[in-house]
């Protein structure tokens, strides 16, 4: 997608989406490669020993499953769930569904009955492609027919991929539910094309010789599915598949070394765990991270641990990979996410909905190829997501010399004594203290100041929770940020509430703080 350039401006000037009218992601990630280079390795599956799956084999798997789904009545436009972890069949499932012209729904193995039921019922899916573990999870859902490819005798002949348009629906991805109940973001076949520039940029032009891509993030999430798996397949970069029930530092390091992984997408939670274990991982060409800001401390550690600069990127389920860093092209700015990815028009809007240079609402202009078609069966929620030509992200930010600085979720920004305070900067500061493992910062209601800054801190092993420790942390922030933005209260916790994707659920911390304020 990206034309190599020596500067960011030149890269943007040369960019053109060039989206064809007719487009099917199954062709992008599988069929075209199977025709041109059938023996090229698509997926390195490490779940039961090493299994190098070629594009030709991946197509045979997808074709067989497509026939099996059609035999069970799946038609164009139907929604089909995919409840599998990282493995070759997971990729084949999505490809098979797209071949039919149906809509795939990524589902997460850690979902409980209520979470699975709400998504499957909301989407109107009656078939979910899964494995043995997923079959047990689906058992309570009588209306759902599980299909396990390994169990059934699937037809062994080619399936002709249907003709679809770039705007035809292809995948329904549910939000993680950090702000309200999960909503289904419906994406078209152009969504992969929309991700490619940002993925390439965040990996310093992914697709170099010997590149090999992996992430510990589950492929049920947009970060795993469209920031790693599908872009890797589309670019001809081998993607490593390795299930991890939970992130383990030693397993991660061994996997990278034994599989010659050169490019990794690490969620911030994984990076924090690696940092806490004082890991050093040589041999990587690129490390990308997204989901929440890393801050200068984590970036400095990354240079020591990996011998390179971690490239942060920004986006959300509704429109992903819209801003990114690229250390090989422009120097990072501490505290900033990066710059707008070519093809995506970003703005920070003021209260009147006009682009502004001061703090405001981060928004994305219509025309981004990774932008959703809308929320599934929620026309009002879709309408509320936009302000004219701009899609509101719900995040606050500010431009800093052409770089986007993330301030916080719109409903996370703290108002204290007339100051507007972003929690991300305080969290980043606290994480620099040698005692802090992780932290969540929210506003606690206060009659005098409207809100005060409240920090919920998990300490590293060997440090004791005490009033003295709390005072030390308060002074640490006060000395480094501002006298009005230090946490006036600190609570020490064993764990913090997090989504299954590893993001701190600030709404739960805010609810806790509000309850404390009224006790």
The string of pLDDT tens digits covering residues 204-261 is 999 999 999 999 989 998 999 999 999 999 999 999 999 887 789 999 999 999 999 9
Residue 181 has pLDDT above 80, yes or no: no
The reply to whether 313 and 458 lie within a common domain is: no
Q: So what's the pLDDT on residue 164?
A: 98
Q: Within a 10 A sphere around the Cβ of 349, how many other Cβ atoms?
A: 18
Quote the CA–CA distance of 327 and 405 in Å, as a whole number. Answer: 17
The reply to whether 175 and 254 lie within a common domain is: yes
Residue 206 falls within a domain, yes or no? Answer: yes
Residue 385 falls within a domain, yes or no? Answer: no
Burial-class residue 19 by CB neighbours within 10 Å (0-12, 13-18, 19+): middle
The reply to whether 331 and 436 lie within a common domain is: no
Q: So what's the pLDDT on residue 267?
A: 87
Q: So what's the pLDDT on residue 109?
A: 86
Please report, for residues 41, 274, 416, 504, 518, the alpha-carbon distance to residue 456 in angstroms, rounded to integers and kept in the order given.
Answer: 46, 21, 18, 11, 18
Quote the CA–CA distance of 71 and 404 in Å, as a whole number. Answer: 49
CATH number, domain containing residue 126: 3.40.50.12780
pLDDT tens-digit profile of 262-311?
999 998 878 988 998 999 999 999 999 987 778 788 899 999 999 999 99
The reply to whether 141 and 49 lie within a common domain is: yes
pTM for the model: 0.84
Please say which residue of 295, 311, 346 terminates a domain: 346
Residue 419 has pLDDT above 80, yes or no: no
pLDDT tens-digit profile of 352-400?
999 999 999 999 999 999 999 999 999 999 999 999 999 999 888 999 9
Please say which residue of 346, 370, 396 terminates a domain: 346
Q: So what's the pLDDT on residue 420?
A: 64
Q: So what's the pLDDT on residue 189?
A: 98
Mean pLDDT value across the chain: 92
pLDDT tens-digit profile of 75-115?
999 999 999 999 999 999 999 999 999 999 999 887 777 77
Residue 330 falls within a domain, yes or no? Answer: yes
Please say which residue of 304, 325, 346 terminates a domain: 346
The reply to whether 171 and 81 lie within a common domain is: yes
The reply to whether 430 and 298 lie within a common domain is: no
Residue 459 falls within a domain, yes or no? Answer: yes
Residue 148 has pLDDT above 50, yes or no: yes
Residue 339 falls within a domain, yes or no? Answer: yes
The reply to whether 120 and 30 lie within a common domain is: yes
Concatenating the DSSP letter of every residue in 194-258 gives: HHHHHHHHHTTSS--TT--EE-SS-TTSHHHIIIIIHHHHHHT--EEE---SS--HHHHHHHHHH
Q: So what's the pLDDT on residue 49?
A: 92
The reply to whether 462 and 316 lie within a common domain is: no
CATH number, domain containing residue 512: 3.30.300.30
The reply to whether 336 and 441 lie within a common domain is: no
Distance of CA 296 to the CA centre of its chain: 21
The reply to whether 341 and 416 lie within a common domain is: no
Q: So what's the pLDDT on residue 178?
A: 43
* Domain that includes residue 96, residue range: 24-346
What SS3 state is found at 262? Answer: coil
Residue 421 falls within a domain, yes or no? Answer: yes
Q: So what's the pLDDT on residue 270?
A: 87
CB 11 within 8 A of CB 84: no
Residue 404 falls within a domain, yes or no? Answer: no
Residue 56 has pLDDT above 90, yes or no: yes
The reply to whether 284 and 427 lie within a common domain is: no
Residue 179 has pLDDT above 50, yes or no: no
Of the candidate ranges 7-11, 215-219, 333-337, 413-417, the one whose mean pLDDT is the lowest = 413-417
Residue 153 falls within a domain, yes or no? Answer: yes
Q: So what's the pLDDT on residue 421?
A: 78
The reply to whether 336 and 453 lie within a common domain is: no
Residue 443 has pLDDT above 70, yes or no: yes
Work out how many domains the chain is built from and give that number: 2
pLDDT tens-digit profile of 273-287?
899 899 999 999 999
């Amino acid at each position: 997608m990206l034309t190599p350039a020596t500067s960011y401006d030149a890269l943007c000037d040369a960019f053109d989406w060039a989206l064809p009218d007719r487009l099917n992601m199954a062709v992008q990630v599988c069929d075209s490669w199977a025709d041109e280079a059938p023996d090229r390795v698509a997926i390195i599956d490490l779940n039961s020993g090493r299994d190098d799956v070629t594009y030709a084999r991946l197509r045979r798997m997808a074709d067989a499953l497509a026939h099996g789904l059609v035999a069970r009545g799946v038609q164009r436009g139907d929604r089909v769930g995919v409840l599998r972890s990282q493995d070759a069949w997971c990729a084949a499932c999505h490809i098979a569904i797209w071949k039919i012209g149906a809509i795939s729904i990524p589902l997460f193995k850690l979902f409980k009955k209520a979470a699975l039921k709400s998504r499957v019922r909301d989407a109107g899916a009656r078939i979910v492609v899964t494995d043995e573990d997923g079959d047990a999870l689906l058992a309570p859902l009588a209306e759902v027919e599980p299909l396990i490819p390994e169990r059934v005798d699937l037809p062994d002949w080619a399936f002709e991929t249907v003709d679809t348009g770039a705007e035809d629906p292809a995948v329904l991805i549910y939000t993680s539910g950090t702000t309200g109940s999960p909503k289904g973001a419906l994406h078209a076949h152009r969504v992969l094309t929309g991700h490619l520039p940002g993925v390439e940029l965040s990996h310093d032009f992914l697709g170099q010789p010997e590149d090999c891509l992996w992430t510990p993030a589950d492929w049920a999430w947009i970060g795993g599915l469209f920031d790693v798996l599908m872009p890797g397949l589309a670019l001809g970069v081998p993607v490593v598949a390795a299930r991890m029930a939970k992130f383990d530092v030693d397993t991660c390091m061994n996997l990278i070394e034994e599989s010659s992984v050169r490019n990794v997408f690490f969620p911030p939670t994984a990076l924090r765990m690696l940092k806490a274990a004082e890991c050093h991982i040589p041999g990587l060409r690129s490390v990308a991270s997204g989901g929440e800001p890393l801050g200068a401390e984590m970036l400095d550690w990354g240079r020591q641990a990996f011998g390179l600069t971690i490239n942060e990127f920004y986006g959300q389920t509704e429109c992903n990979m819209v801003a990114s860093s690229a250390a090989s092209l422009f120097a990072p700015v501490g505290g900033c996410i990066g710059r707008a990815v070519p093809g995506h028009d970003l703005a920070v809007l003021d209260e009147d909905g006009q682009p502004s240079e001061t703090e405001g609402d981060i928004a994305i202009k219509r025309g981004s190829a990774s932008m959703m078609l809308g929320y599934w069966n929620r026309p009002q929620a879709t309408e509320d997501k936009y302000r004219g030509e701009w899609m509101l992200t719900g995040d606050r930010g500010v431009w800093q010399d052409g770089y986007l600085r993330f301030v916080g979720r719109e409903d996370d920004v703290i108002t204290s004594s007339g100051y507007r305070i972003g929690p991300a900067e305080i969290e980043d500061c606290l994480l620099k203290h040698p005692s802090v493992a992780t932290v969540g910062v929210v506003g606690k209601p206060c009659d005098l100041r409207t809100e005060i800054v409240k920090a919920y801190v998990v300490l590293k092993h060997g440090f004791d929770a005490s009033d003295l420790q709390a005072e030390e942390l308060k002074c640490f922030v006060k000395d480094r940020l501002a006298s009005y933005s230090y946490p006036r209260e600190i609570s020490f916790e064993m764990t913090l509430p997090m989504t299954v994707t590893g993001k701190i659920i600030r709404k739960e911390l805010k609810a806790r703080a509000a309850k404390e304020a009224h006790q």
